[in-house]
Structure 1
Amino acid sequence: ASVTVELGLSVCLSVCLLLSISLLGCLFVTETIPSTQQATKNGDTAVIIAVKRHDPATLRELVRAESDLNLQNQEGLTPLMIAARSWRTDITNILLEGENINLDIQEKGTGWSALHISAETGYSATTVALLKAEANAHLKDKNGDTAVIIAVKSCHPATLRELVRAGSDLNLQNQEGLTPLMIAATSWRTDITNILLEGENINLDIQEKGTGWSALRFSAERGYSATTEALLKAGANAHLKDKVWESTTTLTFSSMSQPSPF
């Protein structure tokens, strides 16, 4: 009888121990994993955490549950912006399946959208997914830079090509008055210039607001002969004058005494 009692007590103690562990586990999960809309101390929702963890299965369930996909954390980042920083295009695509997702929310500090971020990181597949979902390629950040300008500055030819193929406006100027072509002309990366020249309706002769310099003027001043050749073949105006009445032809053979404003 005593053996039976001891066995019964052992079983009861084991069951109580398991229940205690289970209860503690539930409490731990409740404290560390937010509900679909609840945010952590960093402002991260369950959706953001699933994106950061690259957890497609969990993310898909959260999206199906109609979680708010537009909530920003304390950094001003939405789930889509965070996904755009990663090569995991599957994560981006799951988010894009969500109803009422806003593709064009801008980060509070820089004014970058998810498309700006994908242009900067150079993940062309993510850029394609965003463009197909109709992200605004003409949206400007706080410096007036479009996703095209960001791709040019970051020297990401594959991403830039997708933006050009999507019909992005290549003539938009940022707050400095620079177009994507002007910025490309200040670099030795002629491949970047050539991709821009593939775009329809590109204006080769837009002039920077302050100096009146065109893309050809920039390339001539920097001495990038391959870029200069590409611009001339595309029909850039070699006789265009800047605000001090100096033509590109004159500059090419001058002493280069005038410093670049950039």
Structure 2
Amino acid sequence: MNTQLSGVLAAAKAEDRAALIGYLPAGFPTIDGAAQAVQALIDGGADAVEIGLPHSDPVLDGPTIQTADDIALRNGVRTRDVLETVRQVTAANPTVPVLVMTYWNPVDRYGAARFAADLAAAGGAGCILPDLPVEEAGPWLAAAEELGLATVFVVAPSSRDQRLATITASGTGFVYAAAVMGVTGSRNQVGEMAEDLVRRTRATTDLPVCVGLGVSTAAQAAEVAAFADGVIVGSAFVQRILDAASPEAGYAAVRELAAELAEGVRKR
């Protein structure tokens, strides 16, 4: 359990609102500029942030994040750069939880215990592991628990109630509820299945339930905030940087969108 992450989510709940959690990949738009991009999320009002570990086969991610991952990989990003971005962000924002969103293969290659130790040393709050089955998570969970790192698993509308109970029993920090079936990306509608998924997930756990996949506007953030503990936004931030004429313009656009979304989660 990560007390920093739990504290931030509890503080948002005490204010009768959802938390805003922003995502951007490391190495994007450049290796050195990634921390500035994440800082823009925080400056705009994100309560917590996810830093993605770029992957060559991001099965959960849609074309927007795939494009950003490809840019990051062509920039030469490595796992050590991801951890360095975490270190820079946590050093500048000691009260903001910073999680790494990563597929399991890079962690497995790096070494689960080593990755957990290096993430903790960088000030990270934990990991979101979308493709790691809980049945195979024992070594990671042991290392994470020893170091006080949260382990966030993903549930989907297709998850049956018994499966939800299995997943939530193993996770810590919060539960990541995928609002729609499919990959990440901004959508006109967030997905009618999200509220039902949150309700079913809450029946199995006391952990906060945060909803991601598809939120891109303040109105959508407010819609999700009405039934979720947190609103997770990624592709919309990535798109702002992709559309910008320069990295600096991209950071400004991210900051602006984060401010709009932060206002949205307060209108539940």
Q: Smaller-chain TM-score range? A: under 0.3
Q: TM-score, normalised by structure 2?
A: 0.27
The structure where strand makes up a greater share of residues is 2
- Of structures 1 and 2, the larger Rg is shown by 1
- Structure scoring higher RCO (CA < 8 A, sep ≥ 6) equals 2
